[in-house]
Amino acid sequence: MIESGSVAGIRLEKVTKRYRGGVVAVRDVDLTVEPGEFMVLVGPSGCGKSTLLRMIAGLEEVSSGQVLIGGRDVTDELPQQRDVAMVFQSYALYPRMTVKRNMAFGLRMRRTARVERERRVSEVAEILGLEHLLDRRPAALSGGQRQRVAMGRAIVREPQAFLMDEPLSNLDAKLRVTMRSQLSMLHQRLGTTTVYVTHDQVEAMTLGQRVAVLRDGVLQQCDTPQSLFHRPVNLFVAAFIGSPSMNFVRAVVSGGVVSFAGVRVSLPAGSPLAGADRAVILGIRPTGFSAQSGEGWPTLTIVPAIIEELGDERFVIFELDAPRVDTDETRAAVDAQSADDALLLPDERARFTVRLPSEVPVSAGEPLELAINPDRLYFFDPETGASL
């Protein structure tokens, strides 16, 4: 049974990456990955997540700050001196070596005895179902098989940590979902500390025990998927996490009531905004609405513009008689989402998406009454984007 040699944590202290020319890719990131934890770094492209991972691997120099692996300061160590294994987006297999030699390469470089090498390679090959491919060259493998070899090459090493740079993004959608669950199972089985980079927030939420959200090189929030979803610290995290994205509208709070687009919703009991009198950005998740108004929730009459069928449920998109929220934060988050979430026609009016069960009869153009769950409202400062 393959086991991680020693379960080590990773600690980043005030890590900064400044390129020549002054571009700062990563700024003062403090992050602790507990031993055995599956940590996901997520953010839109160019947010510095890959740079951060490469600094942990030693492939990128750290401009200032410290990287500690297993309590040891490795900031100035070369990649070959750090006991980590990396899985690259392009797999980066050695083209002239067979699968077996690809997997054994790291052990060979670390002068592991031949018998031990053979044992570990065949064990890992069995776990990943690669036994029958051991004598093939990478060119004779399918994309999914190459991906598994890249994984296997990391696992045989039994390193202190796995670093994975978007390892699933080159697979087709179906295979990606399968590999995602296999990765989770693999992590449960091996218990090796893992840092996983992705731009896909669904991947981040499903894989990560904790997820660190980055934007423009700054760590926004690092928490469990549940906390990120339910307690985002700012507008960016709120807009980035969740699919479809959270709906935003400019609103006014006064006298314990938030009002927008002619709707008035009483704030839930104990809301910190109860006594406030100010402008806010209100966020409502697509699941924050209900078609039944039986619970005394405030209601909103809408006219569905677009209906997206998903089988069990449908997404209903409608316009609200209120100005659209278009801040840097929401734009950065929306750009990162896949194209189907992006708005094709930028409009002056706010556009909302709600998720309704397919039993509710809906047709485009027919007015529909929706109830708003007052417990599932999010408030953000229009200036700073901070959660209120």
Partner 1 sequence: MSVTTDRVVVDEAVGAPARRRRPRWAPYLTTARYLALFLLACFFLMPVYALIITALKEPAQVSVVRMWELPTALSLENFRIVWPDLQEGFVNSTLLAIPASLISSMLGAANGFVLAKWRFPGADFAFPLILFGMFIPYQAILIPMYDTMQRAGLVGGLDGLILVHVIYGLPITTLIFRSYFASISDEVIEAAKVDGAGMLRTFLFVALPIAPPAFAVSMIWQFTSAWNDFLFGVLLASREYWPITVALNNIAGGQTVPFNQAMASALLASVPTLLVYVVLGRFFMRGLMAGALKG
Residues that bind partner 1 (CB under 8 A): 57-59, 78-80, 82, 84-86, 88-97, 105-106, 109-110, 137-143, 146, 153, 157, 163, 170
Instruction: Tell the smallest beta-carbon distance from residue 59 to partner 1 (Å).
Output: 5
- Of the two residues 45 and 188, which places its CB atom closer to partner 1 in the complex? 45
- Of the two residues 167 and 288, which places its CB atom closer to partner 1 in the complex? 167
- Of the two residues 106 and 232, which places its CB atom closer to partner 1 in the complex? 106
- Of the two residues 18 and 101, which places its CB atom closer to partner 1 in the complex? 101
Alpha-carbon distance values, 373 to 18, 50, 240, 286 (Å): 45, 38, 21, 11
Write the DSSP string, 307-355.
EEE-SSEEEEEEEEEEEPP--HHHHHHHHHS-GGGS-SS--SEEEEEEE
- Of the two residues 128 and 246, which places its CB atom closer to partner 1 in the complex? 128
Instruction: Tell the smallest beta-carbon distance from residue 80 to partner 1 (Å).
Output: 5
Query: Cα separation of 211 and 237, whole Å?
Result: 11
- Of the two residues 109 and 252, which places its CB atom closer to partner 1 in the complex? 109
Reduced to 3 states (helix: H, G, I; strand: E, B; else coil), residue 119 is helix
- Of the two residues 106 and 374, which places its CB atom closer to partner 1 in the complex? 106
Is the sign of the CA dihedral 86, 156, 97, 180 positive or negative?
A: negative
Query: Cα separation of 311 and 324, whole Å?
Result: 29
Instruction: Tell the smallest beta-carbon distance from residue 359 to partner 1 (Å).
Output: 30
On whether the CB atoms of residues 201 and 242 are closer than 8 A, the answer is yes
Query: Cα separation of 252 and 247, whole Å?
Result: 16
Instruction: Tell the smallest beta-carbon distance from residue 50 to partner 1 (Å).
Output: 11
Instruction: Tell the smallest beta-carbon distance from residue 174 to partner 1 (Å).
Output: 15
Query: Cα separation of 34 and 31, whole Å?
Result: 10
Instruction: Tell the smallest beta-carbon distance from residue 224 to partner 1 (Å).
Output: 29
Cis bond before residue 244 (omega within 30° of 0): yes
Query: Cα separation of 83 and 80, whole Å?
Result: 8
Reduced to 3 states (helix: H, G, I; strand: E, B; else coil), residue 136 is coil
Geometric angle at alpha carbon 380, from 379 and 385, rounded to 5°: 165
Instruction: Tell the smallest beta-carbon distance from residue 121 to partner 1 (Å).
Output: 14
Terminus-to-terminus CA distance in the chain, angstroms?
A: 49
- Of the two residues 140 and 303, which places its CB atom closer to partner 1 in the complex? 140
Instruction: Tell the smallest beta-carbon distance from residue 232 to partner 1 (Å).
Output: 33
DSSP state of 186: H
